[in-house]
Amino acid sequence: MRRPLVHLSIVLRFLVHVSFAAMISSSVGALRADEGPADSREVVIDTPRARVGATVMAPHAHSKLPWVVIAGGTLSQDRDGRLFEERAPKRDALARLAKFTTGAVEFEVVEGNAADDKGGDDKAAADAREKIKQSLSQAAAFIASEQKEDGSWKGPIGIDDGASALCALALVRAGRAADDAAVAKALRHLEGLKPTYTYTVALQTIVFCEVDRAKYAEPIRRNVKWLVDLQTADGEARGGWSYGPKRDERSDGSNTHYAVWALDAARRAGIEVTRETWQLVARYWLSSQKEDGSWGYQVASSPGTPTMTLAGIHALAAVRAAEEDEELRGKIDTAIERAWKWHDKGFSVTEHWKRRNFRFYCLESLSAAAQATKHDRIGDADWRPQLAGLLLAGQEKNGSWTSDAVESPLVATSFAIIILSGAASP
């Protein structure tokens, strides 16, 4: 799925009781009905942000107190961790599903236990979720403690504004609201930044989209235009992005990845991104894919690497979501399949964890690519609980994570938050 699956057991009896207990293993709700066997049917609801699928079982229609059980259903979240529309509460999503399946008009959504047979798996899942919640809280506290008075953060090798936008995004993903003191200071700082470099503009755009797309609609449009104008127009790297602040022909996979991430966030926030832009992005990745299915940092001169291959997968998935041309979507599907085949043949989550350089950038790229393409397993393992377990075990006492000289603790911790905020329980 696009984002870690949240398995559901939902029982409707004028109240909708929701259990998110089975985040590790699939949960099947228990049917409770006083009269006869239940009929069943499959339902799928497509929305702008996610797909809901479930098996609906209901007793006879003349039951005075009808029960409906949605067993083993799934709500798929997108890369941003939001359901359906930006910042739409889960309960609204479930309410729409309940109304669709029961025809109910008035009901209340209550978080709680849907079935009476909760077992060890539910407790283990709840314990794991609590560990992740605590980890995110500690990590966010670390990031907030490093914030400067002007709302910025010190970045590696002088990239302060890009690091500031990344830290702000991490705080938001950790669950801090716009009126949180650290987030509010960060937003004021980001509001004052003019477009200069691709990484900074991309991350600034993503933050604005996630915090309040209506309030920041104009800065988002401005940044989209700036990114589109910066997109390489000529040469073998046509369709990609370089560092900025001016357009040139030295596009690379990393800057292109972040630019596409931002454009995808803007599109999902209702900001127009032209079809020509998306087709140029597709051209960049499709034409630069190597024979073995991998991608390198630059089109011709760089060997294939796992991080850039994962970046390519994620970027092409964004194009596929925006593109209606079935022929192009077919080419994208083939390219993504080849890329995963290359990646999974030679790499695993534990191998990525052991890498010395850009470890957390690589792991975040893995998380993003896998969620965007519903790639649930790497090798013989579900990557989500495996990666979440490594992150929880590797967190420092002060709430941070450490990597290399370029990935400072602030950068590493921000990436770790982004991964953990959507990772399934270990």
Percent residues over pLDDT 70 in the chain: 70
pLDDT in tens, 386-424: 999 999 999 999 999 998 767 899 999 999 999 999 764
- pTM metric for this prediction: 0.73
Q: Which residues of 127-149 are buried (b: 16+ CB within 10 A; e: fewer)?
A: ebbebbeebbebbbbbbbebbee
pLDDT in tens, 115-154: 334 455 677 778 888 999 999 999 999 999 999 999 999 9
pLDDT in tens, 295-336: 999 987 789 999 999 999 999 999 999 999 999 999 999 999
Supply the pLDDT for residue 126: 81
Architecture of domain 122-420: Alpha/alpha barrel (1.50)
Supply the pLDDT for residue 253: 96
What value does the mean pLDDT take over residues 77-91? 38
pLDDT in tens, 375-385: 999 988 899 99
Read off the amino acid at residue 285. Answer: W
Between residues 7 and 48, the one the model is more confident about: 48
pLDDT in tens, 160-175: 899 999 999 999 999 9
Supply the pLDDT for residue 276: 97
Q: Is the pLDDT of residue 55 over 60?
A: no
Average pLDDT, the chain: 78
Supply the pLDDT for residue 300: 77
Q: Is the pLDDT of residue 48 over 90?
A: no
Supply the pLDDT for residue 90: 45
Distance CA 307, CA 318 (A): 17
Query: Any idea where the domains of the chain sit in the sequence?
Result: 6-118, 122-420
Burial group, residue 393, by CB count within 10 angstroms (0-12, 13-18, 19+): exposed
